[in-house]
Chains A and B, each alone.
Chain A
């Protein structure tokens, strides 16, 4: 743990005493990303894709170069398969609206993992209501494990699509997406992978996983807020109707209708977020420079350290079990007798940022029988001292709430 990666992130110079353990909500941004977005607005800003002059060509190039960087980052076959959105939520909604409303009918079934973030659940609920398709949930055990047997048993000849996160934002557990994709495809079912918590932390290759769709957010992977990605297999995207209508997504328009633009522009109506895309490009370059070997090594070591310390503290329960290897940078927990909001407030008074609540996964909390929990989540820029401070405060929570005095 020698390297001080925090030096790359200006926010830590601004708040040297802060311990930031909420990276699953949003990551901090390295100076390189902030500078890249600023440089775009200083040196290349124009409305891309439409201007017939040099500056607009620069903006267009910056945008399309970012798309190519994303393609390479997730191993997609073609840049036509990379659609820029605002965030994972919009990507998932795009699938549900465009693919869903054109392909699903009453009698069809949608299968959604019960631990999904609301962003990968509510679009499917609404799709089911509108089309008359049936919505079913795939249940996990109390450690957040989804088995192949359970998936096989849940799939029926009518299951058209299965939605699941690669890493759950509550358990931090990795699901065997490649195996699930194979099982789904044998059944003629598409698989949507929510990569919001995985793409920033582990190498993800869409062709190796063979997922049909992958959604993720830039802001959780060191990029600015407001830029996200939808990956979709080209054959699927080609058949899907546009999601939003307007400028930039047409070939030509008549009084009667329009011919839609080529992929991926068909799905990018209106003026796009070039600054955000440039920032995402810089974030990808940054992640590649640090390297996933380093990122995974640090995050796994810090997670294991945290779990080992936490499981020795009386009255602390780790959601999803005590196995350090099961939590990838995300440790959700409860403290007997103390409401998670009070836990977070006590951490805040020690300048430690953690999350409390249902983490946008209320059905999961109902499933595991708690109404809310606290969550600490790491990124590779965290260090052992951060975890030590976290553990020190955690040990004091019950006493500071009046227990065992």
Chain B
């Protein structure tokens, strides 16, 4: 692992998360847990007119789980659940090390987590937000 794994993108999203707050208008929420390290986030979504009109997360965790959730919300707000699911699948593909450069573009800042695949112990942190999202979309349908 290189010295700059915690690059500006991750550090910024961890120290100044845009989406770490309550969401009074939330139409659905789901708590995700990473028991091995105690990371715990609750994802809140406000679904309106078939799109994810707003979203936030609450809870505590390591820089990777926090930054990943914040970046994820940047990506999915304003999209349809179907688009969000596709992004989640792409994210998994990236973690699995099978993503193409074109697909990586689509993930925008989430691409900062590409190298997490080399730290197996942290993969669960990076995917916590996305796993919680998938669960939420499944049950919200």
Binding site for B on A (CB under 8 A): 338-342, 345-346, 348-350, 356-358, 371-372, 400-403
Contact = CB atoms under 8 A, between A and B. Distances in A.
Contact of A371 (B15, B60, B64): B60
B59 to A, nearest CB: 11
24 contacts: A338-B63, A339-B37, A339-B62, A339-B63, A340-B37, A340-B62, A341-B62, A341-B64, A341-B122, A342-B62, A342-B63, A342-B64, A346-B6, A348-B1, A349-B1, A349-B2, A349-B3, A357-B37, A372-B37, A400-B3, A400-B6, A401-B11, A401-B63, A403-B15
Contacts of A402: 6, 11-12, 14-15
A339 B6 CA distance: 13
B2 A401 contact: no
Interface of A is mostly: mixed
A338 B6 CA distance: 12
Instruction: State the 6 A-B residue pairs at the shortest beta-carbon distance, nearest first.
Output: A339-B62, A402-B11, A341-B62, A371-B38, A342-B63, A349-B1
B61 interface: yes
B38 A345 contact: no
A372 B38 CA distance: 7
B125 interface: yes
Contacts of A338: 63
B95 to A, nearest CB: 16
Contacts of A372: 37-38
B36 interface: yes
Q: Which of B12, B38, B61, B122 has the most CB of A within 10 A?
A: B38
Contacts of A340: 37, 62
Interface in B9-38: 11-12, 14-15, 36-38
A391 B63 CA distance: 22
B6 A342 contact: yes
Nearest to B37: A341
Nearest to A403: B15
Contacts of A339: 37, 61-63
